[in-house]
Each structure stands twice: as structure tokens, then as C-alpha cells.
Chain A
Amino acid sequence: MRERHLWLLFILAAAFILVTLAIHMFLMHMGTVLGWLGITLGDPLAWESTIARSKQIGTLVLLFILLTAGLFHGLYGLRGILIEWIKNPIGQKAISWLIALFGVVAYAWGLVVLFGVYAKGG
């Protein structure tokens, strides 16, 4: 995949993150502000609450998009910073592969968590 395609994906992933992470952060951390809007969730970190949320297909879709876009955007951004520092082309290639490998492992773990908790809730 050419660099410009990766860059476009990086930008598009940012657009998805902007929406999904804003929803996630508000649901998890802005209880009082949500209360003003008539949304009461109780303690979002309570075991019953987190399992009840994970039953919802909307939560699954939201977190799936967030996991996919977030990992890609974050790791591609990290790679950009690191290859700016590392001048050696072999080093740049090595860091790209290392980050890609880390991304695959983290994504696999993220999917196990996401679907594992969804199954627990359902």
C-alpha cells in the first residue's frame, strides 16, 4: 500500500475516532453533563453496568470502530514520529514492521476482549 493511501486512511480514521471516542468519553466520564440532557447511566464502571452495556449491539459497533480506527491512527502517527527521528532506511523499515506487528497483536487482543465481553453479556 502506498504511503499516500496510508495517509488518507490515517485522516479518515481520525474522522471516525472524533465521533466514536467523543461518545465513549461522554458516556464514561461526563455523567453530570449527560444528566442535564436527561441521560442517567449510574456508575458506568460498575460490573453490572459494564456487562449490561456490552449486551447492546450499538456498544459493540461503536467500540469495534473505535478499536480499529484508534489503533491504526495512533500507531501510524507513532510510526511517523519515529521514522522522523531514525534516519537510517533499514531502521525506518524495521520500526514500521515492529509497529505493524504490535498493531496486529493489540488488535487481536482488543477483538478477543470486545467479543468475549459481548458474549458474557449476551
Chain B
Amino acid sequence: MKTREPKTLSRSLGLRGWVWAGRYGLERWAYLFHRITGLALIIYLPAHLVVTGLRLFGPGPWEAFVEFSHNPVVLFFEWALMIAFLYHAINGFRLLLTELFALTIGKPAHPHIPPRTSLKRQRPFNIVLMILGGIFIVLTVLDFFVWR
């Protein structure tokens, strides 16, 4: 009797796999946004090093840049970077605690469906941190656009 090979997905779906590779849970979206915000931050860092280096050439070039940074479009991108940092930092904090201290993972146990630790410990922890992130985001909106 001829057996049919099970249909398998390619090991790597490339960029498409980042955006959609099935029904994602909260943690998979957290991973996706962690990558996107990380890329935004590492693209910005060299530009930031160049801009802060303007101070080596005296107050003229620096003040010209500061004047430029008051432009609403620049201010919006600055705020977007702040959000990227906040998200990356708070989600990264969760990953650090999980990687280094196994927080919320629990002791080894027999498999159980649905997985107890991920739904009862990891997900609530993730949600609490995202609420904290939301509070910080509201504060940044106020500090960037309302209180200045």
C-alpha cells in the first residue's frame, strides 16, 4: 500500500513567515514586533552617532540640527522611535527574565494540552507588561505633543 508523505512547510518562510505563517498567538506577534522595533533601533543608532557628533564642530551645526528637529515630521519620527524603544525594552525585559531565570516557565512536567504554564503564567505576565507599555506610551504622547 502506498503511503502519502505528510505535507510539510519549508523550514524557512523568509520575510513572508515573519508576517504570517499561520494562526499566531500573542507571543508570536510579540516576537514579530520585537524584530521590527529592533531593526528600527539599529538603523537609527548609526544616524544618531553621526548627529551627536555634530557637537564636535561647535554650536553652529548643532543648533542648526536642533532647529531642524523641531519640525513636526521629525518630532513624529522621534516619538515613533521612543515607542519602538519602549516596546523593545519591555518585551526584552520579559525575554531576559525567561532566558536567564526561567521565570514563568515552571519546573519540567508531563506535557499537557493546553499548556498550563504558557497560558496561566507566561501570557498573563506578557499582558501585564504590555499594559505597562501602554501607560508609558500614553505618557510619551502627552510629553511629546501636549505638554511641550
A interface residues (Cβ-Cβ under 8 A, vs B):
11, 14-15, 17-18, 21-22, 25, 29-33, 45-47, 50-51, 54, 67, 70-71, 74-75, 77-78, 81, 84-85, 87, 106, 109-110, 112-113, 116-117, 120
Task: Say yes or no: A31 contacts B52, CB within 8 Å.
Answer: no
Q: How many A-B residue pairs have CB under 8 A?
A: 84
Q: Which residue on A lies nearest to B142, using beta carbons? A: A32
Task: Say yes or no: B85 contacts A25, CB within 8 Å.
Answer: yes
Q: Quick check: is B116 within 8 A (CB to CB) of the other chain?
A: no
Task: Say yes or no: B38 contacts A120, CB within 8 Å.
Answer: no
Q: Which residue on B lies nearest to A113, using beta carbons? A: B53
Q: How far is the CB of A28 from chain B (nearest CB, A)?
A: 10
Task: Say yes or no: B62 contacts A70, CB within 8 Å.
Answer: no
Main secondary structure of the interface of A (DSSP, over half): helix
Task: Say yes or no: B55 contacts A81, CB within 8 Å.
Answer: no
B interface residues (Cβ-Cβ under 8 A, vs A):
12, 14-15, 35, 38-39, 41-42, 45-46, 49-50, 52-53, 55-56, 59, 62-63, 66, 69, 78, 82, 85, 89, 92-93, 95-96, 99-100, 139-140, 142-144, 147-148
Which of B53, B93, B147 has a CB less than 8 Å from the CB of A32?
B147
Q: Given A30-B143, A81-B35 in contact, is the A106-B46 Cβ separation under 8 Å?
A: yes
Given the complex of chains A and B, what is the CA–CA distance between A69 and B1 in angstroms? 60
Which of B39, B53, B139, B148 has a CB less than 8 Å from the CB of A112?
B53
**Complex contacts, A29 vs chain B, CB 8 Å:** 78, 82, 140, 143-144
Given the complex of chains A and B, what is the CA–CA distance between A114 and B53 in angstroms? 8
**Complex contacts, B66 vs chain A, CB 8 Å:** 45-46
Q: How far is the CB of A24 from chain B (nearest CB, A)?
A: 10
Given the complex of chains A and B, what is the CA–CA distance between A64 and B37 in angstroms? 23
